[in-house]
Structure 1
Amino acid sequence: MGSAILLGLLDALDEIKIGDKPTWNFTACTKTERSSVALIETLGHHAKQVQVLHGQNMEALREADIVILGVKPYLAKGILTKPGVGPSLAGKLVISLMAGVPVDEVQGLILSAAKESAHTDTYVVKVIPTIAARYRQSMTLIERSSPPLPQHHEDLVTSLFNLIGSVKVLEPDLMDVGSVLVTSCLATLTVPLDGLLDGSVIEGLPRRDAMELMSQGIAGLGVLLKHGGHPAMLRESISSPRGVTIQTLLSVERENTRVTFTDALLRGTQHLQKMRSKAEAPQSSEKDVL
Structure 2
Amino acid sequence: MAFVGCGNMGRAILEPLLDTVFPEAESSDEASSSALVSKFIACTKSKASAEKLPELLGRHHSHVSISHGQTLETMKAADVVVLGFKPYMADDVLGAPGVREALAGKLVISLLAGTGAAKIRSIIVGDSTDTEAPYVVKAAPNVAARFRQSMTLLETPDVPLPQHYTDIVEWIFLQIGKIKYLPLEQMNAGAMLMTASLAAMSIPLEGLLDGSVVEGLKRQDAMEIAIQGLRGFTEVLDKGTHPAVMRESISSPRGCTIQTILTVEKASTRAVFAQAMIDGSRHFK
TM-fit CA distance, 1:226:
1.0
Note the alpha carbon deviations across 1:138-197, whole angstroms, 9 max, x for none.
Answer: 001111112321222112211210111001111121111111111244211111111111
Note the alpha carbon deviations across 1:16-50, whole angstroms, 9 max, x for none.
Answer: 98563425111112111221222211111011111
Q: Is residue 77 of structure 2 the alignment partner of residue 63 of structure 1?
A: yes
Out of 274, 277, 282, the position equivalent to 1:262 is 274
Note the alpha carbon deviations across 1:41-95, whole angstroms, 9 max, x for none.
Answer: 1111011111121112122111010011112211111111122222211121100
- Hey, what does 2:245 align to over in structure 1? 233
Letter in 2 for 1:45: R
Is the Cα contact below 8 Å between 2:12 and 2:144 reproduced in 1? yes
CA distance in 1, matches of 2:163, 2:142: 25
Out of 165, 168, 178, the position equivalent to 2:190 is 178
CA distance in 2, matches of 1:265, 1:245: 26
Gap change, CA 1:131 and 1:69, over 3 Å in 2: same
- Hey, what does 2:5 align to over in structure 1? none
Q: Is residue 197 of structure 2 the alignment partner of residue 197 of structure 1?
A: no
30-39 vs 57-66, which moves further: 30-39
Q: Is residue 246 of structure 2 the alignment partner of residue 222 of structure 1?
A: no
CA distance in 2, matches of 1:150, 1:230: 38
Matches within 5 A, 1:98-117: 98-112=112-126, 115=128
Note the alpha carbon deviations across 1:95-142, whole angstroms, 9 max, x for none.
Answer: 0111211211110111128x49x6413110101001100010000111
Letter in 2 for 1:28: A
126-135 vs 33-42, which moves further: 33-42
CA distance in 1, matches of 2:48, 2:99: 24
TM-fit CA distance, 1:227:
1.0
Question: How many residues end up aligned between the 2 structures?
Answer: 271
Is the Cα contact below 8 Å between 1:58 and 1:88 reproduced in 2? yes
Quick check: which one's helix share is greater? 1
User: Structure 1 segments of 4 or more deviating over 3 A?
Assistant: 14-19
Out of 249, 257, 261, the position equivalent to 1:245 is 257
Letter in 2 for 1:38: K
CA distance in 1, matches of 2:108, 2:40: 15
150-159 vs 256-265, which moves further: 150-159
Letter in 1 for 2:39: N
Out of 25, 28, 37, the position equivalent to 2:39 is 25
TM-score using structure 2 length: 0.89
187-196 vs 6-15, which moves further: 6-15
Is the Cα contact below 8 Å between 1:12 and 1:164 reproduced in 2? no
Gap change, CA 1:186 and 1:154, over 3 Å in 2: same
Gaps of 5+ in 1: 275-290
Q: Is residue 23 of structure 2 the alignment partner of residue 11 of structure 1?
A: no
RMSD between superposed Cα atoms in Å: 1.9
Gap change, CA 1:183 and 1:13, over 3 Å in 2: farther
CA distance in 2, matches of 1:183, 1:14: 30
Gap change, CA 1:14 and 1:208, over 3 Å in 2: farther
Gaps of 5+ in 2: 1-8, 27-31
Matches within 5 A, 1:84-233: 84-112=98-126, 115=128, 119-233=131-245
Is the Cα contact below 8 Å between 1:185 and 1:265 reproduced in 2? no
Gap change, CA 1:39 and 1:205, over 3 Å in 2: farther
CA distance in 1, matches of 2:85, 2:277: 23
Equivalent position SS for 1:20: coil
- Hey, what does 1:47 align to over in structure 2? 61
- Hey, what does 2:96 align to over in structure 1? 82
- Hey, what does 2:86 align to over in structure 1? 72
Letter in 1 for 2:135: Y
